[in-house]
Amino acid sequence: MTLIGADTKYLVVGLGLTGLSCVRYLMARGKWVSVTDSRVNPPNLTEVKTQFPDLDVQVGGFNSEIFAQADVLVMSPGVALRTPAVQAGIKAGARVTSDIELFLSEFTGQVVAITGSNAKSTVTQWLGEAIQRSGRKVLIGGNIGTPVLDAVDQSFDIAVLELSSFQLELLPKLGADVATILNVSEDHMDRYDSMVQYQQAKQRIYFGAKQALFNRQDLLTQPLVAPDVKVSSFGLNRPDLKQYGVLETPTGPCLALGFKVLLPAAELALAGRHNIANALAVLALADAVHNPLEHTLAVLRDFSGLPHRCQLVRQRAGVRYFNDSKATNVGSTLAAMNGLAQGDRKAIVLLLGGQTKDQDLGPLAPAIAANCKAVFVYGEDQLRFKTVAPEAVYLDSMFDALTQARTILQDGDLLLLSPACASFDQFKNFEDRGQQFTAWVEDNG
């Protein structure tokens, strides 16, 4: 990014962790900064006023005049570009940027960029740890972990960045060394007008990339980029030469590169067919940045996973309890159900519910019919599930659902919290939902 000049006026929009990191970064470089947030009491208001008492901070709504007076709008991803005040600033000539673009303007190492409707945090962390195993210094960030601008003054060999569609909207040209879309399923339909618009936002990850990796079993991930970009793929089917996939062998399915077996799927640390796909993405991305294969395979065998992502919480009396609170969309819940499916046995007792974000819930119906022994639905939008789970039990809270679900569990069953919904109707966030689920299971499971 080219800074406009010494008198450039930066308006930081949003005071979450990202916004706070942007304020620190710009103030440390002597820039003219002001801050705005639509909330009356944003989470970092006290901290920013304490650290920067003379900073102009306006909260409790967006004033279009403030946006129109700025030269650069430093956007937090949670604020939509279509917001009227933001549009007023853009029409007045303001440039839009973000913490990711500011970070990349100074970063000189390799960049791996990862997006997808589901599993992007898992793949980002898994890959980051695989590269760390080889001795390189790795920044794992973006939509996960420490805000990137809090680490901009440190030295890293490579940055592995998880990027949401909201973050990608703010990047005119990412220019990653290798970029991937893991999967695309309906999500954030409360912010996008259509699936096409959502897919287009995801496709921005490929802009300027040297290499592009896509999921050949999900056509929406295939890059629509210039033909001179190196393209490779991964998938759960048999791979072609120099592609990653699964080979069926007499001892079971194996992860493979072309016709070369690399690792029996049974040796992966994370269970489920969806995690075989995630592991294949890690292998392909690690290969693209020349990570030694032995280090990648070692981490595939011992990575413990991230909290709230199909996490085994407890096993008792033959029943396994899984916390998949991060499943805030239909695609993620489908991945969890299909990954944990027990063949023809309907072993899953599923907990759904929360805020549906205007998603199409229809794809859940066949998966529920094929895999679920019972379904319990709770929360604000519970009645929307009537068409896909008409025989489900409908209750007010997750704890009511847990209490009733517990009475039908038998040896061999799986209790799966995979809500397919946002959590804000009853919880602070998906982490809070997962923590409360875990605490209940540990006390009552």
Which residues have a catalytic role annotated? Answer: 120, 143, 188
Report the distance separating Cα 105 and Cα 113, nearest Å.
15
The H-assigned helical ranges of 246-292 are 273-288
280 Cβ contact list (under 8 Å, min separation 6): 234, 235, 236, 244, 245, 246, 255
Token pair in block for residue 61: 């709504």
Fill in the DSSP letter of residue 19.
H
Report the distance separating Cα 263 and Cα 268, nearest Å.
8
Residue of 431, 368, 430, 437 lying closest to 399 (CA atoms): 437
> What is the chain's Cα-based Rg?
23
φ, ψ of residue 258 in degrees (nearest 5)? 60, -125
Task: Give the full edge-to-edge strand order of the sheet including 348-353.
Answer: 311-316, 319-323, 414-417, 348-353, 372-378, 393-394
Quick check: 146 and 156 in contact, CB under 8 A? no
Q: Quick one: CA torsion of 143, 146, 150, 155, rounded to 10 degrees? A: -100
CA 294 remoteness from chain centre: 27
Residue 434, CB-side half-sphere exposure with 13 Å CA sphere: 21
